[in-house]
Amino acid sequence: MKIFIYINSLSVILPTPKLYYLSFMKKWLILGMCILCITNGLHAQVPAQTVPDFRFLQKNGMAFTRQQLPSGKLLFFAFFDITCDHCQKAMQYLNSHYRELGKAAIYLVTLDPGPSAEAFLGKYAPQLLHQPNTVLLRDTRNQFITLFQPRKYPSLFLYSPRQQLLLYSDEEKDLSAFVIKMKGAK
């Protein structure tokens, strides 16, 4: 809708105030969304610097908490999803180096149902899954993401025996750094 004004036989077309207002608001809305996206990226999740209090479920349905973590050992948490192809590759890599991970307590944490997670690990990490230092944990309360602050799948956390973060990554290319660190543990 436009307003026509006739001045001395010249016609001038002006936008209606309503359309001008909507156009103005649209520009500010787009600008605001851009600023929000930029500043949101600046506040990316920072991985937990110490092992947080948690409660996950073991294969047998029993609870597993932070208080049950062994003292004097490196603590390795691998957060994975069964539909993630990067998780498949990460588990295959860890499986192929399972002998070198023997000095660390390994916790494979997933949001997926137990049978599905076991089938996934049986396919991609069968040797790792059956090691005495490896525990499959299910996060049925969706706590891992809020407590540990992973950025994406797979997320790998290596904590010291004092439960301080030593190494974090969510990139497959960094897996060797974890293996080297765990292999060198005393």
Confidence tier at 52 by pLDDT (50, 70, 90): very high
**Residue range 87-114: average pLDDT?**
95
Query: 175-183 vs 85-96: helix axis angle to the nearest 10?
Result: 30
Mean pLDDT of 47-57: 97
Per-residue pLDDT averaged across 97-101, rounded? Answer: 93
What is the CB neighbour count within 10 angstroms for residue 100? Answer: 16
- DSSP H/E element including 25: helix 17-42
Q: Is 174 helix (H, G, I), strand (E, B) or coil?
A: helix
CATH of domain 55-183: 3.40.30.10
Write out 132-157 in H/E/C secondary structure.
CCEEEEECCCCCHHHHHCCCCCCEEE
- C-alpha to C-alpha distances, 115 to 59, 78, 84, 119, 155, nearest whole angstrom: 9, 18, 17, 6, 21
Distances (CA, A) of 177 to 9, 172, 174, 185: 80, 10, 6, 13
What number is the average pLDDT over the span 93-99? 96
Q: Which two tokens stand for residue 141?
A: 């309360």
Kindly list the domain boundaries of the chain, sorted by start residue: 2-42, 55-183
Q: Which residues contact 87 (CB under 8 A, 6 or more apart)?
A: 80, 81, 124, 153, 154
Confidence check: pLDDT of 28 > 90 = no
pLDDT tens digit sequence for 69-94: 999 999 999 999 999 999 999 999 99
